[in-house]
Amino acid sequence: MATPFSSTTSVRRSVFQLTQNPPPKALLSLRDYNAGLNCVKCGSSTTHLCSWKSASNYVRLHRQALVLSTQLSVSGNLLKNRGVVRAATIEEIEAEKTLIEKDVKARMEKTIDTVRSNFNSIRTGRSNPAMLDKIEVEYYGSPVSLKSIAQISTPDASSLLVQPYDKSSLKSIEKAIVNSDLGLTPNNDGEVIRLTLPQLTSERRKELSKVVAKQAEEGKVAVRNIRRDALKAYEKLEKEKKLSEDNVKDLSSDLQKLTDDYMKKIDVIYKQKEKELLKV
Segment 14-38, tens digit of pLDDT: 544 544 555 444 444 444 444 444 5
Average pLDDT over residues 204-215: 89
Report if pTM > 0.95: no
For the chain, the distance separating the N- and C-terminal CA atoms, rounded to the nearest angstrom, is: 93
* Phi/psi at 150 (5° precision): -150, 155
pLDDT tier for residue 41 given thresholds of 50, 70 and 90: very low
Distance between CA atoms of residues 145 and 133, nearest Å: 7
Which of 208, 167, 183 lies closest to 132, judged by CA? 183
Residues in the chain: 280
Segment 234-276, tens digit of pLDDT: 999 889 888 888 888 989 999 999 999 999 999 999 999 988 8
pLDDT tier for residue 5 given thresholds of 50, 70 and 90: very low
Segment 96-117, tens digit of pLDDT: 888 999 999 999 999 999 999 8
pLDDT tier for residue 49 given thresholds of 50, 70 and 90: very low
Model pLDDT, residue 157: 78
Q: What percent of the chain has pLDDT over 90?
A: 35
Judge whether residue 196 has pLDDT over 90. Answer: no
Distance between CA atoms of residues 250 and 101, nearest Å: 13
Model pLDDT, residue 32: 42
Average pLDDT over residues 112-132: 83
Contact 176/167 with Cβ under 8 angstroms? no
Which of 202, 203, 161 lies closest to 184, judged by CA? 161
Beta carbons within 10 angstroms of residue 5's beta carbon: 9
Average pLDDT over residues 150-173: 90
